[in-house]
Chains A and B, each alone.
Chain A
Amino acid sequence: MLHERIQVPASEDLSSVWIVIPGFNESGMIARTIRSVAHWLPNVVVVDDGSTDETGREAERAGARVVRHCVNLGQGAALGTGIRYALLNGARNIVTFDADGQHRPEDIGVLLRRKEETGADVVLGSRFLGSTVNMPTSRRWLLRAATFYTRLTTGLNLTDAHNGLRLLTRRAAKQLRIRQNRMAHASELLDWLASSDLKVVEAPVNIVYTDYTLAKGQDAFSSFNILWDLWSSRLHR
């Protein structure tokens, strides 16, 4: 049996599902992103990561709870804050969701169903198991390279390494410590998962690339910064 609109198992208590959206200067898109999920999920928290625009106010007007960093710390730090806030408010399942509108809200249901079917602690969205719209070839190759590197360094048999749409159960979220404030947090998360006893599975999700998401996304140069952050953090624990 499924909830009528969102294709989530009826056993799932939607009030215990929290959506965590990190946002930095996303006033152009944040309200639309929140409205796409908030009409069927009551708990949406936006972490306004020291934005200099109206991201926080727009998010509040759209119905999200807003946690504001007084300074810009980075997406990893914002996710860490949002996850901690959700845990303090009793979340049983936490879904991380990008602010730029590249994710489809229906895919939250896909993650929840996959968790229900497999009993996994962590469900990672994979665009390569699902589909993409307008993904540039360069981005495809960059992501393939990142996935290959992740397989090599973690041993996790994944198809997508840097997807912002993921689900963490309370058990997993309580153990998670994100130390990488900026974009290297996605690789750090996978490193940590590989060394944990948590069950990790992937689920097919869909990503829509637009001019807006591409302008906000990572380029090839960013991947060098990510590698530097990861390697230098290994020298200093």
Chain B
Amino acid sequence: MIAIPLILALAFFAFYGWRQRRVSPAIGFAMPLVSLLGIALVLRPHWAQRAADLLGIGRGADLVLYLWTVASLLLLANLHFRMRAQSAVITTLARELAILEARQRNE
């Protein structure tokens, strides 16, 4: 029963990620990939167990958890770098505004 809403949600994220590929290539590539992998695992749960056996991890659920952790950290790093970029833009704007205002005041 839960498979259908899960697949729909993952398909939405895959589509959203693909649409973001021009704004953020990392998200545009990673989000559809992870979402499609998620859909595959919802439809074929035993694939996770098979992959876990191949990698020497006890359970398929553990493998999914590990992959999810790595994906989350990558997402956090991406957000961090985007925030830095935004901060640089804010700094430039605040600086130009401050200088403009000071020059007008001192003229």
Contact = CB atoms under 8 A, between A and B. Distances in A.
Nearest to A181: B91
Contact of A81 (B77, B90, B98, B106): B98
Interface in A144-174: none
A70 B80 CA distance: 23
Interface string A60-104: 000001111111010001001100110010000000000000000
Given A69-B94, A70-B97, A179-B88, A236 B102 contact: no
A232 interface: yes
Which among A80, A81, A235 has the greatest number of chain B C-beta atoms within 10 A?
A: A81
Interface string B71-91: 000000100110011011011
20 contacts: A47-B98, A66-B102, A67-B99, A69-B94, A69-B95, A70-B97, A70-B98, A73-B91, A77-B91, A77-B94, A80-B91, A84-B95, A84-B99, A85-B102, A85-B103, A88-B99, A181-B87, A232-B80, A232-B84, A235-B77
Interface of B: 77, 80-81, 84-85, 87-88, 90-91, 94-95, 97-99, 101-103, 106
